[in-house]
């Protein structure tokens, strides 16, 4: 049984038992299901974080272009990350910290549709996290992007964040 099959097996087992648990508990249960789908970072382990888009707190992610900050304290060094709904069933999850000098970037808005850094005015693509405007001094690189999976049947997004076992 591979990692994805094991995760689905555990998930269906929990659902079959009618158990409702928070993402932190699921995270603990599934901690052995870490994935690493980034061939560029072979030593970085990732762990799933589950986000229900039926939860009223996440309603912003039910519209294309919607974006929110999130935090999973035990992962990603406890740093905020951003999720953007880029297409009907496609999401972008990425670091919220500017690669220039570490300021937190703004999520897209009607005034500024890019990921905008207020410190030195770098801008990043809300579709890919790529730099589209360099800061007014020095240079920035693309924002780190995290793998995602969208389950349309359950309207649930899984984000794989870096962490330590």
Residues that bind ligand FES (CB under 6 A): 98, 100-103, 117, 119-120, 122, 135, 140
Q: C-beta of 112: minimal distance to ligand FES in Å?
A: 14
Beta bridge partners of 122: none
The smaller minimum CB distance to ligand FES, of residues 45 and 120, is found at 120
- Give the C-alpha separation, 26 to 48, whole Å: 9
Q: C-beta of 117: minimal distance to ligand FES in Å?
A: 3
CB 115 within 8 A of CB 123: yes
Give the position of tokens 């972008």: 92
The smaller minimum CB distance to ligand FES, of residues 101 and 147, is found at 101
The smaller minimum CB distance to ligand FES, of residues 30 and 140, is found at 140
Q: C-beta of 80: minimal distance to ligand FES in Å?
A: 15
The smaller minimum CB distance to ligand FES, of residues 11 and 100, is found at 100
Q: C-beta of 116: minimal distance to ligand FES in Å?
A: 9
Q: What is the DSSP letter of 33?
A: G
The smaller minimum CB distance to ligand FES, of residues 126 and 135, is found at 135
Dmax (CA) of the chain: 56
Q: C-beta of 60: minimal distance to ligand FES in Å?
A: 24
CB atoms within 10 A of CB 48: 23
153 burial via Cβ count (<10 Å: 0-12, 13-18, 19+): exposed
Kind and range of the H or E element at 28?
helix 23-29
């Amino acid at each position: 049984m591979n990692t994805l099959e094991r995760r689905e097996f555990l998930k269906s087992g929990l659902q079959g038992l009618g158990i409702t648990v928070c993402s932190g508990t699921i995270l603990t249960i599934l901690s052995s299901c870490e994935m690493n789908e980034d061939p560029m970072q072979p030593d970085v382990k990732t762990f799933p974080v589950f986000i229900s888009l039926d939860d009223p707190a996440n309603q912003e992610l039910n519209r294309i272009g919607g974006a929110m900050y999130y935090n999973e304290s035990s992962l990603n060094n406890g740093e905020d990350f951003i999720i953007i709904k880029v297409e009907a069933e496609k999401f972008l999850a990425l670091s919220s910290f500017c690669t220039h000098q570490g300021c937190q970037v703004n999520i897209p808005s009607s005034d500024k549709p890019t990921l905008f850094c207020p410190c030195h005015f770098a801008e990043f693509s809300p579709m890919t996290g790529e730099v589209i405007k360099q800061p007014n001094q020095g240079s920035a690189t693309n924002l780190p992007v995290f793998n995602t999976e969208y389950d349309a049947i359950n309207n649930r997004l899984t984000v794989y964040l870096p962490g330590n076992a």
